[in-house]
Structure 1
Amino acid sequence: MCDLQKKKKFDEIIDDDDIVKSAEQSFRIDYFLFMIDQIICSLRNRFEQFQVYAKNFGLLFNLKKLKALNEDALKYHSLNLENVLKYNRFYDIDGLDLFSELKVLRVIFPNGNRNSIEILDYIKNIDSFPNAYIAYRILLVIPVTVALDERSFSKLKLIKSYLRSTMLQEQLSGLTMLSIKHNLLDKVEYNDLINKFASQKARKINF
């Protein structure tokens, strides 16, 4: 489909901004490519987050990984996990105790490539592995990512409706971000924003 052009005088110089894009080109440039870029960034962030997750909790993924570590590596990862789960002066687990528990656990646990759920089911009724029990519970419930790319598409369907087909890219991006981050908006004082906006836009000056 060819580009449409505005009517011009015979001596007028054509500017790139004066070219009117077709509906297909406008959708491709202003919306499709923008969303693809957002998805690529979200996927990149997801894999980066998973790498950090695997670095901290990788020894607990399955029995094969646990048994593959020598004692020095097992101790290092146990102490590292203690630091990861530390908040100020509070600790969820003790790294040295976790190291001792995992050494025993990988010896007494039945052979096979057991996953973390099977290991948790095995130790949950045994009082000898309190730190390992906490570590495996955290492993299985901690969120790895926020899945921002899926949320972007779901919000886009609600915001970019047929009735709003003339919405500009800047406005669409802003409304999409506001809808996704609605939990932050709940903490905003709207009266302060309204008063600030009104004071900046007010034409009447008090003397």
Structure 2
Amino acid sequence: MNETDLHSSVQKFVDAYSVDVSNDLIQEMDEIKKIHTANFGEDQLQPFELLNSLNKYKLTTLFPNCCIALRIFCTLPVTVAEGERSFSKLNHIKNYQRSTMTENRLTDFGTLAIESKLARQLNFDNIIDHFASLKARKAHV
């Protein structure tokens, strides 16, 4: 990227995130471009790799705005597909279970379906035993 395009792109970023970064980001980006080859080699680094390299070489105090900008850039969602999947999954569950489930239970069930990878890692034996003991006490009373 040439210097003019870089400066205009950085200025747009600074304008959008003026609370988080200052105009010093432009100078920091120029300095990083100058020292990039000496510190990081000839290869172009991805944003996440650059952020990790800045942390590794303890350069975060020299380039604080750049580190903040990289953290913002690395955490911004690229697409809204995750949210769309969540809503489509909830619609599927809601249509299937609508007549037999309360709103709270439906929300909890939707969360389990959306976070299915995490739910598969859980051990439900203790939860099932506790639930069964509660039901057993109700039966004896």
TM norm structure 1: 0.40
Greater helix share, 1 or 2? Answer: 2
Alignment of 1:123 onto 2:123: no
Q: Which residue of 1 aligns with 2:71?
A: 137
Aligned to 1:101: 28
- The answer to whether 1:112 aligns with 2:112 is no
1:92 is aligned to: 20
Which residue of structure 1 aligns with residue 87 of structure 2?
A: 152
Q: Which of 70, 73, 78 is matched with 2:5 structurally? A: 73
CA displacement, residues 104-142 of structure 1 (integer Å, 9 cap, x when unaligned): 212222211311111001222212111101100111112
Q: How does 1:179-190 map to 2 (within 5 A)?
A: none
For these two proteins, the number of residue pairs brought into alignment is: 93
Query: Cα offset for 1:162?
Result: 6.6
Cα offsets for 1:45-97 (capped at 9, x unmatched) = xxxxxxxxxxxxxxxxxxxxxxxx222111111111111113xxxx21122x2
Match of 1:58 in 2: none
CA–CA distance in structure 1, aligned partners of residues 11 and 91 of structure 2: 44
Aligned residue type for 1:158: I
Distance in 1 of aligned mates of 2:13 and 2:95:
44
Show the 5 A alignment for 1:23-102. Answer: 69-86=1-18, 91-95=19-23, 97-102=24-29
Q: Percent identity?
A: 24
- CA offsets, 1:15-57, max 9 Å, x none? xxxxxxxxxxxxxxxxxxxxxxxxxxxxxxxxxxxxxxxxxxx
**Compared CA separation, residues 81 and 159, structure 1 to 2 (3 A):** same
Cα distance in 1 between the residues matched to 2:79 and 2:45: 25
Task: Name the amino acid aligned to 1:99.
Answer: I
Q: Which runs of 5+ in 2 are unaligned?
A: 108-141
